[in-house]
Chains A and B, each alone.
Chain A
């Protein structure tokens, strides 16, 4: 899984805590474990209820995408979650073992021809709720950052 550097507006090793690494297997039950760990840390730092809601949703969507699209429900494949939580911001990376995808090619789920499809909204929700989102070059790791709007230096 890629370790290529990410932009400091998402993760900056100079100012953000070190990333914690979690690996889970690709089943939808195991994929819940990172949420419990990460959310309990976030709740200690006074993030708003709206922020916590959005982070939970974005993480859920990222994990579902990793299980369903990246790892194709293959329980022998793994999902690597890396995260760093501080009062200033939350950073979460979710990587799968798939071949990757091109985010620009995901159709707009709000377009009339797509609105009735039952799928295809995960990335839109990740983008809506997280402050910054990027992908590694291969397209099999999503990197998300949520700033704490209540944080003052």
Chain B
């Protein structure tokens, strides 16, 4: 967890919000619920949000984390925004592939590609 107790680090790049996870493992429900709360508040406060989630620090996640991403994705689209995921390690990407969620999410190889996608 970051020093201020936040589970995510948020930076702004023009009109895009880039979120990095502070935790290497997004497994347990308590952690996931806190991440979800932070991200939902972020989305609620940003009309037409362009959101990039960077998984660079993430080494493990559980199906509950996938559920959180699905809920977030719906929220973002409900607010006429867009969500991209990037920097997902191969082992984690395999979890998305197995559950067919690679088709639901816009997954980019890295942050540069995700940002470029929002400029296009």
Contact = CB atoms under 8 A, between A and B. Distances in A.
Interface of A: 28-29, 32, 49-50, 53, 56-57, 60-61, 64, 109-110, 115-119, 121-122, 124-125, 128
A28 B66 contact: no
A10 B70 CA distance: 34
B98 A118 contact: no
B67 A125 contact: no
Nearest to B31: A28
B30 A121 contact: no
B67 A110 contact: no
A19 B104 CA distance: 41
B62 A115 contact: no
B74 interface: yes
Interface string B24-40: 00011110000000000
Given A121-B66, A122-B63, A115 B104 contact: yes
26 contacts: A28-B28, A28-B30, A29-B28, A32-B28, A53-B60, A57-B60, A60-B27, A61-B62, A64-B64, A110-B99, A110-B100, A115-B100, A115-B101, A115-B104, A117-B67, A118-B66, A118-B68, A118-B71, A119-B63, A119-B67, A121-B63, A121-B99, A124-B98, A124-B99, A125-B95, A128-B98
Contacts of A115: 100-101, 104
B91 interface: yes
A124 B95 CA distance: 10
Given A56-B60, A119-B67, 10 more contacts: A28-B30, A49-B91, A50-B91, A60-B27, A109-B99, A110-B100, A117-B67, A118-B67, A121-B67, A125-B63
Contacts of B70: 116-118
Contacts of A118: 66-68, 70-71
B33 to A, nearest CB: 10
A89 to B, nearest CB: 20
Contacts of B28: 28-29, 32
B59 to A, nearest CB: 8
Nearest to B101: A115
B66 to A, nearest CB: 6
Interface in B52-69: 60, 62-64, 66-68
